[in-house]
Structure 1
Amino acid sequence: MILQGSCWLVTEGTDAIPLNPGDVVFVPHPRVYVLADDPATPAIDFDPVASDESPVDEVEIPGHGAVTETLCAAYYFDRDRVHPVLDELPPVLHLPSAPGRHAALRGAIELLGTELAAPRPGGAVIVPALVDTLLVLILREWFDEHPATGWATSLNDPAILSALRAIHRRPARPWTVENLAREAGLSRAAFAAKFKTTTTMPPLTYLTWWRMTLAARLLRTTGEPLRTISARVGYASEFAFAKAFKREFATSPRQYRDRRSADRH
């Protein structure tokens, strides 16, 4: 987010993008990019060092010329389980500033800037929540202005969206194609065909994908017993859960947890 001044975003495989105050850029895939005063200016490496353990910090890069101030945030995803909506996004999402556009996004950025400029009690809760909100608003604004294709078309389809919400809210329920079709308000055949066309996978395949994604997150972030995680993601037995998990990740839940724990340390 460009708060003051201007610059160019230069990244391999795309044209250089001029950025001005109020512009927002989201880079959804792992790639190297450069912010420069001019596309022809050689890039200078720098190593920002945080002053403390806080996730919020200020970094100043000295130099000559006009001052450019940016507000930056990063999102950390498990690259093995990135949702198809993110995978299908272009290399760079650029939302230029313009009067009357992106009002909600501008409001969130202004509120975040206010919190960062004058830290107050509760900021440690508010700032991460606002950063998460920014991601949702950026994607919403992007899809409002660019015709959805691929998986993202499901977000504008009330029937498929109803089924997805049901899966996301109640992953442990013993879903079948028939009761998901009822959630969508369609016949079984029509729902199955439409779901696969929209999301590129059959309904129960997506259900398993989502359950395993949740299970992997719980294994990484909690110390819950495997039997508890099994039940939370819809498996009646730890054995059935372990079998499904190994089929998806080529490792057992216990080995996955141990490896991720070792990676963090």
Structure 2
Amino acid sequence: MADPFSEIISLLQPKASYSKLVHTSGPFRVCRDDVSEAFYCSVLEGRACLQVNQKEPLILNAGDFVLIPVVESFTFTSMDPPPPNDLQSHPVEGEDGIFRLGSPDAEPEVQQLIGHCTFASPDAELLVSLLPDLIVVRGEGRLAALTGLVRDEARADRPARDVIVENLLQVLLIEAFRSGADQAPAAGLLRGLADIRIGPSLRAMHSAPAHGWTIQALAKEAGLSRSAFFARFENVMGLPPMSYLQNWRMTLAKHMLRAGDLSIAEISAEAGYQSSSAFSTAFSRYVGCPPARYSKETMLGASG
């Protein structure tokens, strides 16, 4: 069976844009409202409060890891002691590359690894929409180790650094989603894969996207009646099963068209369409232009 998370994260093409180690002492409040990249934080020592996109604040303790695929704003504050209402803190980078809040000579009370990553895929918006909007993993040492490797490699001037960081980020994202599967996330792919009924149907779709899937066939994979499967899938995933299947097929088709290794007829078959004309009609409706034009424009953009 295919691993949908691995496929989606591989297609996202994550890139490390920024990573820093932050030591704090005393009260602090850091506010950012200019963020447009995926954000992750690993608390190494102490505890802090994180509020993301105006949602409910999260209390983070040592060993906790947070991943937010889409961030607009966040506020980090101290817990012991809480900051005054008018305090606005600004990290200062030391000669050792560590950012500090509070006295640079004081023993750090909170240590955090904070990072941002971007997604190079042209389909990033669609792919990210399949992921949970917030992952919080408590006390998982593997994630702390992985974030440390990302930090060290991103700062190093070594051969193949970018390739190694990209692969470490993929492992980090997969591990975060895998570790968060035991939670009760909102509707989306993580919840779907964790669902004892919907998970098998999702893996079946990803294993054979070209198969002529029907609601009846997918319901059989789930061990449910058609009506029960349809209702449960939409509740767990946030969209109907055939809409999810079409989204995934079109994402794969766009990826294959950009690669330029297959003909339109071959891509049509790989995307589960009986003819090139049927695929072209569906692709044009979904993307806004025929597949041949999309392929040509993508290649011209890449060469330019």
Of 271, 277, 281 in structure 2, the residue corresponding to residue 243 of structure 1 is 281
The alignment partner of 1:149 has SS state of coil
2:174 alignment partner, one of 133, 136, 146: 136
Compute the displacement of 1:177 (Å): 1.6
Mean Cα displacement is larger for which, 220-229 or 174-183? 220-229
Distance change in 2, residues 1:10/1:258 (3 Å): farther
> 5+ residue gaps in structure 2?
1-18, 34-52, 106-110
Which deviates further from its counterpart, 177-186 or 18-27? 18-27
- Residue in 1 aligned with 2:115? 72
* 2:43 aligned residue: none
Residue 35 to residue 106, structure 1, CA distance change in 2 (3 Å): same
Q: 2:193 touches 2:202 (CA, 8 Å); kept in 1?
A: no
Bigger RCO of structures 1 and 2 (CA < 8 A, at least 6 apart) = 2
In 2, Cα distance between the equivalents of 1:199 and 1:17? Answer: 25
Identify which of 88, 98, 101 aligns with 1:40.
88
Q: Is the 8 A contact 1:2 1:22 kept in 2?
A: no
Offset at 1:103? 1.9
Q: Does residue 227 of structure 1 match 2:265?
A: yes
- Please list every run of 5 or more consecutive structure 1 residues that lacks an aligned counterpart in the other structure: 45-58
Two-structure CA RMSD over aligned residues (Å) = 4.0
Separation (CA, whole Å) in 1 of partners of 2:73 and 2:146: 27
Residues in 1 aligned to 2:30 and 2:182: alpha-carbon distance in whole angstroms? 23
Against the structure 1 CA distance between its residues 202 and 24, is the aligned structure 2 distance closer, same or farther, given a 3 Å change threshold?
Answer: closer
**Are 1:3 and 1:22, in contact at CA under 8 Å, matched by a contact in 2?**
no
Q: For 1:28, give the aligned amino acid.
A: P
**3-state SS in 2 of match to 1:74:** strand
1:89 corresponds to which residue? Answer: 133
8 A Cα contact 1:8 1:17, kept in partner:
no
Deviation at 1:176, TM superposition (A): 1.5
1:205 aligns with 2:273: no
The 8 Å contact of residues 210 and 270 in structure 2, kept in 1 or not, is answered as yes
SS at 1:173 equivalent: coil
Once the two structures are TM-superposed, the CA of residue 237 in structure 1 deviates from its matched residue by 1.5
Q: TM-score, normalised by structure 2?
A: 0.63
TM-score (norm 1): 0.71
CA offset digits 1:177-221 (Å, max 9, x no partner): 222122112233322222222223332222112101111122223
Give the aligned length.
Answer: 243
Matched, 1:216 2:259: no
Q: How far off its partner does 1:230 sit?
A: 1.1
Q: Give the 3 Å change call, closer, same or farther, for CA 18–184 of structure 1 in structure 2.
A: closer
CA contact (8 A) 1:2 1:23 kept: no
Q: Which has the higher helix share?
A: 1
What residue is the counterpart of 2:31 in the other structure?
10
The verdict on how the C-alpha distance between 1:20 and 1:204 changes in structure 2, with shifts beyond 3 A counting, is closer
- What is aligned with 2:70? 29
Deviation at 1:172, TM superposition (A): 0.6
Identity %: 29
Aligned-partner SS, 1:5: strand
* Equivalent residue, structure 1, for 2:11: none
Counterpart mapping for 1:154-165 below 5 A:
154-165=192-203
Q: Distance in 2 between matches of 1:173 and 1:27?
A: 33
For residues 59 and 194 of structure 2, the distance between their equivalents in structure 1, rounded to whole angstroms, comes to 31
| Equivalent-residue separation in structure 2 for 1:202 and 1:20 (angstroms) | 38
In structure 1, C-alpha distance between the alignment counterparts of 2:75 and 2:293, rounded to whole Å: 38
Tell me the residue number matched to 2:6.
Answer: none
Q: One-letter code of the match for 1:11?
A: R
Distance 2:268 2:239 in 1: 23
**In the alignment, is the contact (CA less than 8 A) between 2:69 and 2:128 conserved in 1?**
no
1:84-105 deviation digits (Å, cap 9, x = unpaired): 333x515xx566xx7xx11221
Q: Determine the C-alpha separation between the residues in 1 that align with 2:232 and 2:67.
A: 30
